[in-house]
Amino acid sequence: MASGVTVSDEVIRVFNDMKVRKSSSPEDVKKRKKAVLFCLSDDKKKIIVEEGKQILVGDIGESVDDPYASFVKLLPLNDCRYGLYDATYETKESKKEDLVFVFWAPENAPLKSKMIYASSKDAIKKKFTGIKHEWQVNGLDDIQDRCTLADKLGGSVVVSLEGRPF
């Protein structure tokens, strides 16, 4: 069932910026988003970019040591969110980068929130064309261990995530 929730233009712009890897100056690369969270607006009618809930490529190695662990820390323990995470990983053959769409619906989120986020998920997914990996997460136990993301990205062929070997 669709909820009638719409997706803000800024969400689409952020997605397109993360999806298209233009050859750009080192300064532009630093401004690229590594991860970002989206939430519902206060009136529950629009999916918007959540203020201050992002990690920039330029933060890594400066204010952010481990981008994956930092992304997990952005997630609220008591409410739902959508997220995009730009995973950098290596398989036995090659280095890869893929966007992962995360639907975060923790056990202790309010039922009403879980319902509206679940019924609005298609609205945002339709705007995110070309996403290879979708991951519904229901608690920190599912997401804290980076091996779970490695399984999503390719299972046993993945040998490292964000430069950290398994």
List, for residues 65-85, the tens digit of each pLDDT value: 999 999 999 999 999 999 999
- Per-residue pLDDT of 103-153, as tens digits, reads 999 999 999 999 999 999 999 999 999 999 999 999 999 999 999 999 999
Q: What is the pLDDT of residue 70?
A: 96
Query: Could you give the CA distance from residue 48 to residue 51 in angstroms, rounded to a whole number?
Result: 9
Could you count the other beta carbons within 10 Å of the beta carbon of residue 45?
A: 13
**Helices of type H across 39-129:** 67-74, 111-127
- Token pair in block for residue 86: 């730009």
- Supply φ then ψ for residue 114, to 5 degrees: -60, -40
